[in-house]
A and B are shown apart, each in its own frame.
Chain A
Amino acid sequence: MHTSWLLIVLVVLAGISFYLGRSRAMQSAGGDMRQLHSLPNFYGWNVALASLVPAVVIFALWQAVQPNIINRSVVSMVTTEELTGGALNLVMSDVRRIANGLDAAISRGVMSASEARDLSVGDASIRQQLSAVGTVVGAEVSDNVLLAAQRYRAMTATGSLMQTALVLIVAVAGALYGLRQTNRDFRARVSVETVVRAVLIFAATVAIMTTVGIAFSLIFNTIKFFNLHPASDFLFGTTWNPLFRGGSSLGILPLLWGTFYISIIALLVAVPIGLFSAIYLAEYASPAARSIIKPALEVLAGIPTIVYGLFALLTVGPLLVSAFGPNGFLGLGWMRGGSAVITAGLVMGVMLIPFVSSLSDDIINAVPQSMRDGSYGLGATKSETVRMVVLPAALPGIAGAVLLAASRAIGETMIVVLGAGAAARLSLNPFEAMTTVTAKIVAQLTGDNDFNSPEALVAFALGTTLFVITLILNVAALYIVRRYREQYE
């Protein structure tokens, strides 16, 4: 609770600073705001920011650093051996839970603060006392875990106190500095606007930080994975068979194959249908027809992928089985279950139709009308104009659109999780169940994870693979499309 109080106090301080800064500026101008360099409010803002910004920065830094320092010193109390990853987390969560339990016990009056500080394992079963206030502790509490918990509480309390003191001092000091600056010739507006500019730049760098965050979270865990599991098996292995006991085969090839197979089927569905729809809409459809069909296709684009996943699992899969299954009306017996490459591919294709068509529509419309006029003026029919003038001119853009669609298909998750099956297989038969990189990321990372087993960490390696592939496709597509756009601008 103390953090939110601290923040409220900071805001109040900033409010006071604003008022003081404003009135000091007015005073220095003798009450005539025309004598000021900037509007009076800017002086107020300047002082408020001088108080708030450094304080908040220190607050945030402290908040980030304190748990790490406490963890380190507490862990050394519990055990002398070097713990890593999961084991460390387990110990720490035990310590934290007991500490929280003690807090709860104090706040409910079950024990006093000094009792909690002096509590030792000998007193009574701590487990019992804590469960009375709703904290369940797994194993019997050992002596040094309890000590660590008490230490944890003590350190947290001291840390918080120091944090509060420092932050408040900085806030007041900042306000005083801001007030000292304030006189009628001070360029308050410029200084406030600089801060605003800095905030804007910070917001813009969130995109970069996100990318960096993705890269780091993938790379570190992937390196961890390769330390536990041979890279050669991952990159070139042809079997995917994760075992919880360990000794798994984690070859990515069958997953990549499934991913590409499904994506290719999806593109075979989406590209012709999407492209021809776009051509029809751009070149043939009357404005009235266009105003109905275009939104209808866009509805397809706005439907969440979970809906397509369900559509694959419960509608398209059974439908295909009733045609190609053992008792299907085609009598072919090709398909054993609804989950198959063809099911996922087909539905993913449907999902991509509006994506391809709206991108292609934009690109076809970017081809200047003068090209079409030139062609019609020579006596070409519409289809000849489209095939021989518009499409060749739009080709780079359309290629970019197809690459983007491919990137979507490869990264699509819900449809394959629900529609493609779970078996990793290298096969050419589209009626068989296969699985993809994304589906296996979900399978390996759902539920409680032990971030130290290769079976969980492999998901990060899969994620890296996925990220790299889609990154290459995206960058290529964006480059092509941008070049194309510039050509006609």
Chain B
Amino acid sequence: MTDAATPSTTPGNPASKKGSLLVTDARTKKRNNAEKRFRAYGITAISVGVIFLATLLYSIVGNGAGAFTQTFIAVDIALPEETLDPEGNRDRSEMSRVSTFGYNPLIQQALAEKIASLNIETEVPEAAFGQLLSPGAAAQVRTTVLNNPDLIGQTVRFDILASSRVDGYFKDRVSRVSLLRDSNLSPAHLDIVDELRDQGFAAKKFNLAFITGSDASESRPESAGIGVSMIGSLAMMLVVLLLSLPIGVAASIYLEEFAPKNWFTDLIEVNISNLAAVPSIVFGILGLALFIQFAQLPQSAPLVGGLVLTLMTLPTIIISTRAALKSVPPSIRDAALGVGASKNQAVFHHVLPLAMPGILTGTIIGLAQALGETAPLLLIGMVGFIASNYPDGISAAFMSPNSAMPAQIYEWAKRADPAYYERAWGGIIILLGFLMTMNIIAVILRRRFERRW
């Protein structure tokens, strides 16, 4: 301790700053400015993040809202018995022999009459009037007639989907200039459209078919919907839920409650945390090689998609389940063991029920992740074809080829017609709607059942 009492003689004794506390000295001012700058960096960083988020949301809503409305043209179509039901007995099977080709002239004629009756002068030849309507118009009329044979013989008003160019004109995507080099519609068509709109025969309406309908071919973006791929996603989520929840919970219980501390447990732990960070595309490769190449399961089937997503979601579920189990205090286990319960009984009767809200929250978040995942689905073939029919039956929903919501969005984004971009954004709104609902449920669960020990 000899050095303790020599401070006053030490040359390095710092000169204390004896200034008044009420006056900020120059150095402190400088330091405070540095402080302000640093703080500003933080605020800037957060603002940039928030601006990105706002831009993203703005472009999703701005570009996607249009997909939920569609332009319809009201046409009064005469449905003559002699062409549609030559036998005259209103028998559906006989009527269905008249294909859409039989309906096309009727629509054509009705449109021409409508245009004539409104006194619209146009240079568009009568044969080209049909381009105003969706190529699916005839099918739409035919389906209606087949469902209501009594309509035959009457003149019925149909709200028929306008073609995607006309719809684009209503949504400011298409202009007269852009139509100059377009083979589907001419600028002169738009004059007719203007007249129809002014007289109230053409208008944008809410389009339920986008949510419930099936995908359409490249040339008919106006009738494409996301409903079928929603079923695909639903089937996959069922598979994920039914497999990953029990397996994930069982694995977590083992690791958290039973596993001895040894190399094998370590190996499992390292594996799980690594799998959580493996790129999703690698799971796609695994699915392709294991389920399709090796196990010969059908390509594009939601079952395969669900299996791949299960493997991908498992680490997430295991990690959150373990956290939930860990948060149950040891005193609960001790209490159960103390009255003579076996270790299994302590875990299954006491710890697991208490951890259940946390486990469910984690599972929902894992499912939400799986629902939005796209990359692995590309490899197992859930893109590149048109999901145009609802699966007929439960086993078909799992085994026959289908798309899934994110895969359908990707598919639309890759198509050439810009009208599909609107569909893609619209699909994103629906997808995000699902994700948001799931996350809100998770948050509510957590709030509602959160226990503080």
Contacts and interface: CB of A to CB of B under 8 A. Distances in A.
Given A204-B255, A276-B42, A310-B409, A67 B375 contact: no
A276 B45 CA distance: 6
Interface of A: 67, 189, 193, 196-197, 199-208, 210-211, 213-214, 216-218, 220-221, 272-277, 279-281, 284, 293, 296-297, 299-300, 302-311, 313-315, 350, 353-354, 357, 381-384, 386-387, 404, 407-408, 410-414, 417-418, 438, 441-442, 445-447, 449, 451, 459-460, 463, 466-467, 470-471, 474-475, 477-478
A303 B369 CA distance: 9
Contact of B278 (A313, A315, A474): A474
A305 B374 contact: yes
Contacts of A296: 49-50, 53
Interface of B: 31-32, 34-35, 37-39, 41-46, 48-50, 52-53, 55-56, 59-60, 63, 246-248, 250-251, 253-255, 258-259, 267-268, 270-275, 277-286, 288-290, 293-294, 296, 311, 314-315, 318, 342-344, 368, 371-375, 378-379, 381, 383-384, 406, 409-410, 413, 421, 424-425, 428, 431-432, 435, 439
Q: Which 8 A-B pairs have the closest CB atoms?
A: A411-B279, A304-B372, A280-B42, A217-B289, A276-B45, A203-B250, A383-B38, A200-B254
A387 B284 CA distance: 42
A383 B35 CA distance: 5
B439 A214 contact: no
A213 B290 contact: yes
A206 B39 contact: no
B34 A381 contact: yes
B425 A310 contact: yes
B440 to A, nearest CB: 11
Contact of A467 (B254, B278, B384, B410): B278
A303 B375 CA distance: 14
Nearest to B249: A203
B434 to A, nearest CB: 10
B285 A460 contact: yes
A474 B285 contact: no
Contacts of B279: 407-408, 410-413, 438, 466-467, 470
Q: Determine the main DSSP class of B at the interface with A.
A: helix
B253 A200 contact: yes
B206 to A, nearest CB: 23
A383 B39 contact: yes
A315 B59 CA distance: 7
A478 B278 CA distance: 12
Contacts of A293: 46, 50
A93 B196 CA distance: 56
B382 to A, nearest CB: 10
Contact of A204 (B44, B254, B278): B254
A302 B44 contact: no
10 contacts: A204-B251, A208-B268, A284-B39, A302-B368, A303-B56, A303-B432, A304-B406, A306-B409, A306-B428, A311-B56
Contacts of A214: 278, 282-283, 285-286
Given A213-B290, A383-B38, A404 B277 contact: yes
B314 A206 contact: yes
B427 to A, nearest CB: 9
B441 to A, nearest CB: 13
Nearest to A208: B271
Given A214-B286, A445-B379, A310 B424 contact: yes
A207 B315 contact: yes
B277 A407 contact: yes
Contacts of A441: 281, 284-285, 379
Contact of B274 (A211, A311, A354, A414): A211
Contacts of A275: 45
